[in-house]
Structure 1
Amino acid sequence: MIFETIEKQKSNILHTYEDLHELAEPSWQEEKTSHYLQEKLINAGLHVERYEGHFGFIAEIKGQSKEVIALRADMDALVQEVDGVVCANHSCGHDAHSTMVLHTALALVQSKQAFQHTIRFLFQPAEEKAAGALRMIEDGALENVKFLGGIHLRPSLELPFGAAAPAILHGSTTSLTGVIKGRPAHAARPEEGNNPIEAAALLIQELRQIELNASCSIKITELHGGEASNLIPETTRFTFDLRSRTNDVMNELIEKAQKIVQQVAATTKTEIITNLEDYSPAATKHPEAIKLAEKAILQVLGEVEPPCVSPGAEDFHFYTLKQKELVATMIGLGCDLKPGLHHPHMTFKKDALIYGTKILTQLLLEADKKQW
């Protein structure tokens, strides 16, 4: 019966997606998106709780128990160049995720079922900044939560249209940014200066020598120094991208990188100031959560794919990093997404929103049967 309700709401689901797609607001600026979602949830009878200082919020369907089962959606858009114009653009599917979680909430409340657990829906800001989940945790969004589910559109090379995976196994990622301070001089008298670009070149070569295992990488992604052809600059800025399949290896990678930075600074007699930014932890593979997701996917699609292994990152995994006992998983949704996530002209088949909503709805129904 509840799936029939979702089918009947197909046009509304697609309309919601189009509305959210047009709103497209950057991280920490999701005001209109948040108000749009809140209005629909409040009108449907859900209790909504807002937070100070950002536009994230939670909505709840009260159950017989104060123990909570939950879904999380992200709301923010990327800021990127699209056809020569820099703008907010939903090329990571957050508009789709919010659409599916919203309509899961609406389908469950319209079913007028009595639920064993309180069901909570987390609408999170600033996923693209790897900061929104941490803010929601600080504000108490995980209070009493025993199970947390999420969903993310997957590229066509990962999952085909009409398929879904019970987990996305993201790795850990962070950016090592820094400034190398040397001594400026005229290029005709280089002995009077200390070239920070040469120090950067040595740093790049040394960091490439780090050996841990094939499941991690460190690579230069930004290098800026100098303003004139005949001057040795005073400073050079850099960014290195660090990635690892596990949090433990990421910690080793960071430690080795920072030691090399210190060694290069000493060798080149420069000052190197570094900072770690945009850290995201690796996924926690939780067998109990994966089993629940498999049941939900089988109920809806009749078959289930293995977990996706993704080279990308997701701040969803802060929820399990900060609350170790939390049972959680992020479902991967096949939707014929092309040419790829974060591409300015990313597209996918919108009918995937319908079976994605059904999977999330069934996931909560399965979670509600359990004694947590």
Structure 2
Amino acid sequence: LGQGSTVAAAAVPTTGATIGGTAYTFAGGAPAGVVSMGSAGNDRQITNVAAGQLSGTSTDAVNGSQLFATNQQVTANSTAITNINNGGGIKYFHANSTLADSNAVGTDSIAVGPVANAYGNSSIAQGLNAVAGVSGTPATANDIALGNAAKATGGNSIAQGTGATANSAGAIAIGQTARATGGKAVSIGVGNTASGDGAVAIGDPNSAIGTGAIAMGANNTSNGQGAVALGNSNTATGQGSVALGNASNAAAAGAVALGDTAVANNTNDVALGSHSITAAPHTGTTAQFGGTAAGVEAAASTNGVVSVGAVGTERQIQNVAAGVISATSTDAINGSQLNSVVTGVNNLGTTTASTLGGGAAYDPATGNVAGFSQPINSVSA
């Protein structure tokens, strides 16, 4: 059509094409011929073309406004994809849910998953019902919640795992139902709780309640400030108390219980070894020698008790260095030192019997001088 128009080639049948990896089939049969509006180098525009019908079976010509509308949607798709078919997605990313959409409220926040909410600035919520950050006043920022119902709301906090909760500043909770509620507290493992500021609970499950308390292993509890419970089912109750082993109990401030079922009951007590138990300290008792007070009395007060056993399960203490012997010494005395005292007493008894004469003899078993028969003359004035 038109001056200089030529038909240079026969019609080429085009039944379909592949776009973005998907094959499409075009409507229309085999072309019956070719219509030319010009020639090579003398092309013409076709103007004033009415909008053609758009459908899977349409063979109408399409005008520029229709193609412009298509281009606008393609441009929008490069920045916003609002829906994914159930089970569908892009490579390495798929979704399958009919629940409410995710919600990224905070600036630079990311929310991925059904009903996931990222409220704080720069926060990340990923997983069903995951919550990162707090909206409103005061708001939090930089929280990360990963997992079903995970909640990180303390500001710079991290909650990872089903039902994990980190709701204090800088807190970290990792594991199913792990809870880190103290400032900068750390809870790692199923069911652990770190509620004291700076507390640490690691294992399954442990509870670190006191400020700076540590509970590691299984079923340990640290209630006191700075208390430490390590092992299985140990309890450190007092401030600065330590319980290590299995089912040991440091029940007072400064108490230390080391070993299986060791118990330190009183302030500053130390229970050393399996089944060791401390009792109340003994005070105020005066030592007697031969029925005479020796002037050696237990202290009126003590700073705790050290126990290396219990009634019926006593232990020896071996390899004790010789302590200082003096009127003011508080050193432990070993067996060799006591043996020297016994030897000295025996020598004195033997010497006494020898001096008395008259058949006198010293019995080291009883400490008595017996058999003396020498008559004693009376001395008159």
TM-score (norm: length of structure 2) = 0.19
TM-score (norm: length of structure 1) = 0.19
Highest relative contact order (Cα 8 Å, sep 6+), 1 or 2? 1
Q: Which structure carries more helix by proportion?
A: 1
